[in-house]
Amino acid sequence: MSSQANTTTHPHITYLGFPRMGRRRELKRALETYWRGETDAAALLATARELRQRHWQQARTAGACSVPVNDFSLYDHVLDTAVLFDAVPERYRALRQADPLAGYFAMARGGHGLHALEMTKWFDTNYHYLVPELHAGQRFQLTGDKPLAEWREAQAFGLDARPVLLGPVSFLRLAKTTDGSDPLALLDALLPAYAQLLQQWADAGVPWVQLDEPCLALDLDPASREAYAHAYAVLARGRTPRRLLATYFGALDDNLALAASLPVDGLHIDLARAPEQLDAVLAALPPGRVLSAGVIDGRNIWRSQPTRVLPLLEKAIAKLGTEHLWLAPSCSLLHVPIDAAQETTLAPELRAWLAFALQKLEELKQYAQTLAGDEAARAALSGQSALLAARAKAPGVQRSDVRARLNALSPQAAQRRSALTHRRVVQAQALALPLLPTTTIGSFPQTDALRHARAEHRAGRLNNDAYETFLAEEIAQALRHQEAIGLDVLVHGEPERNDMVEYFGEQLEGFAFTRQGWVQSYGSRCVKPPLIWGDVARTAPMTVRWSAYAQSLTEKPVKGMLTGPVTVLQWSFVRDDLPRETVCRQLALALRDEVHDLEHAGIQVIQIDEPALREGLPLRQAQQASYLAWAVQCFRIAAGGVRDTTQIHTHMCYAEFNDILEAVAALDADVISIESSRSRMELLTAFEQFRYPGDIGPGVYDIHSPRIPGHEEITELLRKALVVLDPRQLWVNPDCGLKTRHWAEVIPALEAMVNAARALRGELALQD
Ligand SMILES: CN1c2c(nc(N)[nH]c2=O)NC[C@@H]1CNc1ccc(C(=O)N[C@@H](CCC(=O)N[C@@H](CCC(=O)N[C@@H](CCC(=O)O)C(=O)O)C(=O)O)C(=O)O)cc1
Ligand SMILES: N[C@@H](CCS)C(=O)O
Ligand SMILES: [Zn+2]
């Protein structure tokens, strides 16, 4: 771009993407009111436009010289890419034709009698994307002009803007086909649509585009490598803006030569996760190519360490000069909140350690100015180094009691008293459950009334007693519903929890909380990851009271409900001055004490959720075994202290677990419940090869969709499961917790589930 070439004396500052929700989650509210039919599409689109414009302006004020566009999405950027290229499964076409926005949202979240696209984790993040559903012979064509329209919008503000698009190879690698064919086989069908788009943009005067190819940070097979070489050669042939190839979430490693050989104009690399790759990248980069140096961590919220960042940048500028060096966060800022300045209730010392999206851009400006010889900026960075060095000595950051306990931990702590096969027998006696036991995953609807009561309590307008009476009644009501439905193992429903991680973090030492530190998880759903800044310790039981209360109301077993150490770790912003595995072990010990206290309070079944076990898996195979070893050990430390009669469940969702089933088995849980209904029980193929000795509850009800499943479809899924699993192993449960659903959906869905289980029980009894 003429425009994105440097007009200033310091290197160009940019970013790959920005959080979409808004500092007050305006997009969430606009989406949800639209979905409820309370506002129209025009109102939703107006909020979206306002947010985009506000964010560009904020980014510019913070220091960005250019802004990405089309990073914004009403739901998900992978879905947007599929829609842009008309990769729309047949079942949505009529609706999309009648009402494109309704069709778009049906793909995202189901409805109108249609089930949604599958949703899964975006690499190793807590963001979920919709998996494009393709088939052999798929045709692609350009539909709509969202990226260009947003580019024009930014241009109108006088902004130097760059459309972002998921690159063709990553798009196909992230997609699935319904017929099992290789999505990459569709590359030649897809490329003309990409080429046409680039040509349109070139004709419109777009100077640069950003093609995101995060799959370049993965282990690639020869076919993917070939696909990269082929795709980028084809795209370079036509008229096209200059192309920035963006890689992130790890090192290029063995894909570096490939990435450097692709005919593009710039390469973005992740120097937060992989600073060691800089030398090799500088050596491999052809002359004249821009390097976008992702030096600030886009995945975490701590201020950067200038003593780490400056040497990298000095090396890069020495080789490339100001002209060819851009400064950026390592990846899109989608994964961090917007503005730490809003967090006025945090301790000032802690706030000073934080950099959210806007502060990250401000940091980049300081680095850029320092590189340009600005002494005031250099002094500010020295101040930042001193501040971060002092952090180690702050009270609570290093606790001798926590560290001594961890050092003294024996390997026995990670062992149950007997083998799973023996525990099954004693638990069957202790619990006396029917064949195909029915249960739920923990949470029941977080109704407006419940969220409102919590907000009132937090604001001090509802006193403790009144709030607790309210929670007790919610729990009693949840139990009445479950007993009426006829479930076998009950739950208290988690009404006291704002979030399954935040709730635990709020009760543990070493954690802090933000007020507005929201991060998009999927669609309109956000999470507010706690900050782990110090050594972790539990001072009092966290869940015993409500679980014991629930158990006191029923004869049936009530499952205690905990979030596992790996998931708490994964869904928090974790201190960057200690290895993650050490922080995880501290969490495991805190949870072990909780498990012990639940057991002593008479809870016979305890579920330790680990939905993020798969998400934490390193993207490169070479690092996976060591992660799985410590992650599994942490779970086992948390669960290991209980009697044989105490049944430990674990639950996993939001990802494919097939490739880590051995690690899942190594958790040594008595029962595992795993999401599987969205993929129509694809999970089970893995259990054909891999015989799990414990019990399994493959989810039979897709809780992400408002659609209420019928008795027949649940029965069909259970029959599929019974082809692979022994009936004595099979549990019947939804895919995940029901917190996002309404009672009006949950009750009939669970009734259908229980009826399906009962009918099959009858059939199985007859066969005996
Ligand atoms: C299981 N999942 C989770 C993930 N990560 C987590 N950290 N937690 C998870 O549960 N990752 C994988 C999946 C992702 N799935 C979900 C599912 C649902 C949500 C969700 O519903 N998020 C809520 C926010 C939850 C929360 O913290 N609520 C608070 C605050 C509620 C609030 O906004 N209050 C209003 C006031 C309301 C009033 O006055 O009436 C306010 O403060 O302004 C609470 O309940 O107290 C969401 O709405 O997005 C996330 C991930
Ligand atoms: N127990 C939690 C698990 C979510 S992954 C719930 O039911 O919401
Ligand atoms: Zn779940």
pLDDT digit string (tens) for 485-515?
999 999 999 999 999 999 999 999 999 999 9
What is the pLDDT, as a whole number, of residue 765? 82
Which residue has its alpha carbon closest to ligand 2 atom 6?
737
CA–centroid distance, residue 122 to ligand 2 (Å): 19
Tell whether ligand 2 has an atom less than 6 A from the beta carbon of residue 442. Answer: yes
Q: Name residue 514's amino acid.
A: T
Please give all residues whose beta carbon lies within 6 A of any atom in ligand 1, as ranges. 126, 446, 448, 451-452, 454-455, 498-502, 521, 525-528, 571, 611, 654, 740
Which residue has its alpha carbon closest to ligand 2 atom 8?
737
Give the residue ranges of the annotated binding site for L-methionine: 441-443, 494, 609
Distance CA 620, CA 602 (A): 43
Distance CA 298, CA 333 (A): 5
CA–centroid distance, residue 502 to ligand 3 (Å): 15
| Encoded tokens for 58 | 């904020």
- Three-state secondary-structure class, residue 72: coil
- Three-state secondary-structure class, residue 208: strand
- Close Cβ partners of 270 (under 8 Å, ≥ 6 residues apart): 217, 247, 248, 249, 250, 251, 294, 330, 331
Distance CA 570, CA 669 (A): 20
CA–centroid distance, residue 520 to ligand 1 (Å): 10
| Encoded tokens for 360 | 């990250």
| Encoded tokens for 552 | 């006191």
- Three-state secondary-structure class, residue 406: helix
- Three-state secondary-structure class, residue 761: helix
Cα 348 to the center of its chain, rounded Å? 29
CA–centroid distance, residue 568 to ligand 2 (Å): 12
Please choose from 123, 527, 651 the residue to mutate so as to test ligand 1's pocket, defined by most ligand atoms within 8 A of CB. 527
* Closest listed residue to residue 533, CA positions, set 343, 285, 252: 343
- Three-state secondary-structure class, residue 520: strand
Q: Quote the crossing angle between the two packed helices 580-600 and 624-639, to the nearest 10°.
A: 20
Instruction: Give φ, ψ of 219 to 5 degrees.
Output: -70, 125
Query: Which ligand places an atom closest to the C-alpha of 500?
Result: 1
List own/partner pairs for 177-183 with CB under 8 A and 24 or more apart: 177/133, 177/134, 177/135, 177/136, 177/138, 178/89, 178/133, 178/134, 178/135, 179/135, 179/136, 181/135, 181/136, 182/223, 183/134
What is the pLDDT, as a whole number, of residue 3? 47
Query: Which ligand places an atom closest to the C-alpha of 516?
Result: 1
Domains 12-25+60-70+119-391 and 422-767 agree in fold: yes
Query: Which ligand places an atom closest to the C-alpha of 494?
Result: 2
Average pLDDT on 324-350 reads 97
Distance CA 51, CA 360 (A): 19
679-725 pLDDT per residue, tens: 677 778 888 878 888 999 999 999 988 889 999 999 999 999 999 99
What is the pLDDT, as a whole number, of residue 5? 44
- Close Cβ partners of 408 (under 8 Å, ≥ 6 residues apart): none
Ligand 2, residue 737: give the atom nearest the CA.
7
Give the residue ranges of the annotated binding site for 5-methyltetrahydropteroyltri-L-glutamate: 25-28, 121, 126, 525-526, 571, 615
255-280 pLDDT per residue, tens: 999 999 999 999 999 999 999 999 99
Strand-pair partners of 508: 538
Distance CA 143, CA 120 (A): 25
Length of the chain: 768
CA–centroid distance, residue 561 to ligand 2 (Å): 8
The secondary structure of residue 632, as a DSSP letter, is H
Tell whether ligand 2 has an atom less than 6 A from the beta carbon of residue 609. Answer: yes
Query: Which of the listed CATH numbers 3.30.70.1060, 3.20.20.210, 3.20.20.80, 3.40.50.920 matches domain 12-25+60-70+119-391?
Result: 3.20.20.210
Tell whether ligand 2 has an atom less than 6 A from the beta carbon of residue 653. Answer: yes
What is the pLDDT, as a whole number, of residue 301? 98
42-80 pLDDT per residue, tens: 999 999 999 999 999 999 999 999 999 999 999 999 999
CA–centroid distance, residue 442 to ligand 2 (Å): 5
Distance CA 248, CA 670 (A): 38
Q: In 559-700, where do the E strands start and end?
A: 559-563, 573-574, 605-609, 647-652, 671-674, 695-698
Distance CA 502, CA 525 (A): 15
Ligand 2, residue 652: give the atom nearest the CA.
5
pLDDT tier at 376 (50, 70, 90 boundaries)? very high
Distance CA 716, CA 684 (A): 14
- Rounded to a whole number of angstroms, the CA Rg of the chain reads 26
Residues marked active site are found at 704
**Half-sphere exposure of 182 toward its Cβ, with a 13 Å CA cutoff?**
9
Please choose from 121, 439, 441, 489 the residue to mutate so as to test ligand 2's pocket, defined by most ligand atoms within 8 A of CB. 441
Query: Which ligand places an atom closest to the C-alpha of 524?
Result: 1
* Closest listed residue to residue 370, CA positions, set 382, 361, 354: 382
Give me the percent of the chain exceeding a pLDDT of 90: 93
* Closest listed residue to residue 644, CA positions, set 430, 406, 408: 430
Look at phi and psi of residue 303 and say left if phi exceeds 0, alpha if psi is from -120 to 50, else beta: beta
* Closest listed residue to residue 707, CA positions, set 77, 91, 10: 91
Q: Which CATH architecture has domain 422-767?
A: Alpha-Beta Barrel (3.20)
What is the pLDDT, as a whole number, of residue 689? 79
CA–centroid distance, residue 739 to ligand 1 (Å): 9
Residue 2 pLDDT exceeds 90: no
Instruction: Give φ, ψ of 257 to 5 degrees.
Output: -60, -40
Give the residue ranges of the annotated binding site: 25-28, 121, 126, 441-443, 494, 525-526, 571, 609, 615, 651, 653, 675, 736
Only one residue has tokens 């917190």, namely: 739
- Three-state secondary-structure class, residue 212: strand
The secondary structure of residue 724, as a DSSP letter, is H
Cα 651 to the center of its chain, rounded Å? 16
Q: How do strand 519-522 and strand 525-527 relate by DSSP bridges?
A: antiparallel
What is the pLDDT, as a whole number, of residue 720? 92
What is the pLDDT, as a whole number, of residue 7? 45
**Half-sphere exposure of 343 toward its Cβ, with a 13 Å CA cutoff?**
27
CA–centroid distance, residue 451 to ligand 1 (Å): 9
- Three-state secondary-structure class, residue 13: strand
Cβ contact 537:592 at 8 Å: no
What is the pLDDT, as a whole number, of residue 768? 61
Q: Which has the minimum average pLDDT: 134-138, 390-394, 399-403, 546-550?
A: 390-394
Query: Which ligand places an atom closest to the C-alpha of 521?
Result: 1
Distance CA 434, CA 425 (A): 14
Instruction: Give φ, ψ of 647 to 5 degrees.
Output: -90, 120
Tell whether ligand 2 has an atom less than 6 A from the beta carbon of residue 443. Answer: yes
Average pLDDT on 723-733 reads 95
Which residue has its alpha carbon closest to ligand 1 atom 44?
498
The count of other CB atoms within 10 Å of the CB of residue 641 is 18
**Half-sphere exposure of 179 toward its Cβ, with a 13 Å CA cutoff?**
11
Ligand 2, residue 739: give the atom nearest the CA.
8
* Distance separating the N- and C-terminal Cα atoms of the chain: 74
Distance CA 611, CA 566 (A): 9
Distance CA 11, CA 23 (A): 28
Distance CA 730, CA 721 (A): 8
Distance CA 124, CA 674 (A): 18
**Half-sphere exposure of 87 toward its Cβ, with a 13 Å CA cutoff?**
31
Average pLDDT on 184-201 reads 98
132-181 pLDDT per residue, tens: 999 999 999 999 999 999 999 999 999 999 999 999 999 999 999 999 99
Distance CA 142, CA 134 (A): 16
The count of other CB atoms within 10 Å of the CB of residue 535 is 21
- Domain boundary assignment for the chain: 12-25+60-70+119-391, 422-767
528-556 pLDDT per residue, tens: 999 999 999 999 999 999 999 999 999 99
Tell whether ligand 2 has an atom less than 6 A from the beta carbon of residue 739. Answer: yes
* Closest listed residue to residue 188, CA positions, set 229, 148, 155, 234: 234
Average pLDDT on 638-645 reads 97
| Selection from 4-13, 36-45, 691-700 with the highest mean pLDDT | 36-45
Give the residue ranges of the annotated binding site for Zn(2+): 651, 653, 675, 736
Residue 476 pLDDT exceeds 50: yes
Residue 282 pLDDT exceeds 90: yes
* Closest listed residue to residue 668, CA positions, set 699, 643, 692, 698: 692
Give the residue ranges of the annotated binding site for L-homocysteine: 441-443, 494, 609
Mean pLDDT of the chain: 96
Only one residue has tokens 């009006």, namely: 744
Distance CA 386, CA 595 (A): 41
